[in-house]
Amino acid sequence: MPDRAILVTGAAGFIGLHVTQRLLAEGHRVVGIDSLNDYYDPALKHARLALLASNPRFTFVRLDLADRVATAALFARHRFPFVIHLAAQAGVRYSIDNPHAYVDANLQGFVNVLEGCRHNGCRHLVYASSSSVYGANTKVPFSVSDKTDRPISLYAASKKANELMAHSYSHLFDLPTTGLRFFTVYGPWGRPDMAYFIFTKAILAGTAIRLFNHGDMRRDFTYIDDLTQVISRLIERIPARSTEAAPAKVYNVGNHSPAQLLRLVDILEQAIGRPAIRELLPMQPGDVRETFADVDDLMRDTGFRPDTPLARGIGEFVAWYRDYYRQ
């Protein structure tokens, strides 16, 4: 791999932290950028950055990717050979009340990344998509060949738009791109707006957890170390143009093993050593009942599939949570 640094956007985020740590451990230099917004507690983002800051091969730049001029200048200065784009405005429910945040971060920010890659010799852009693009699909498991034209949240629509935007740049400018549809990624240093994080906090505090659709939900939970393994293997697996297709790929990244939400609660109770107070509620707008990843393409092309058992991954998260919050 060239000596020039790899760019990781969203480096202060949950996935960004772990991806950056893996790249540094593999001996790469990394430039990490993040806007450090207040969607959730910025102190957690600063704590993640503190883990990275001691490594001399890591450089942090505070930057909002929606800033076209600053983003263009960063790309021109570093001419990154590889870009891992993880920065985004996350959250399905938040998008219902805050649509402009998704336009700014997920659309404007993404086109600025594409332009930076296009004009500065990027060899491969790997970017985060989401299982939410499957929307109202009912056929399971979800396959990358399934139609994804029925999003049920603006967040999902923005992620599908990213896939389309990336493909257009691959087609027009021979920019190799790989999109990763993440399925409920969890683990230490996770996002406080995720269900497993919220449930852990509530169980330890003795307050009720809210189980939507009366707990009748299934999610394909993906442990963070499995995801970083996938990204590490894909960075230099650069899509090639063929006579039929642009140099663009999309993969599912999931465990291919959905778990009931009530099963997650049971595992958390066992890991924490306390019972949960359960409040059963109707389905929330924008939610889907089940996610289930078909990862045959991923396995074929990388020789790897996520397989960390949920009980083991949740145990790691709970241990981190107790240590970080001193509980």
Residues with active-site annotation:
155
What type of residue sits at position 25? A
In the numeric block, the tokens 């979800």 are attached to 142
Q: Do the beta carbons of residue 196 and residue 314 sit within 8 Å? A: yes
Enumerate the H helices of 63-182 as residue ranges. 68-78, 94-97, 99-102, 109-119, 154-173
**Token code pair at residue 206:** 């003795």
In the numeric block, the tokens 């090639």 are attached to 240
Distance between CA atoms of residues 317 and 300, nearest Å? 30
CA 87-316-268 angle, to 5 degrees, is 100
Distance between CA atoms of residues 145 and 176, nearest Å? 19
Count Cβ atoms below 10 Å from residue 279 Cβ, excluding itself.
Answer: 14
Establish how many alpha carbons lie within 13 A of residue 197's alpha carbon, considering only the half-sphere containing its beta carbon: 16
CA dihedral 155, 161, 165, 170 (to 10 degrees): 100
In the numeric block, the tokens 């140099």 are attached to 247
What type of residue sits at position 145? S
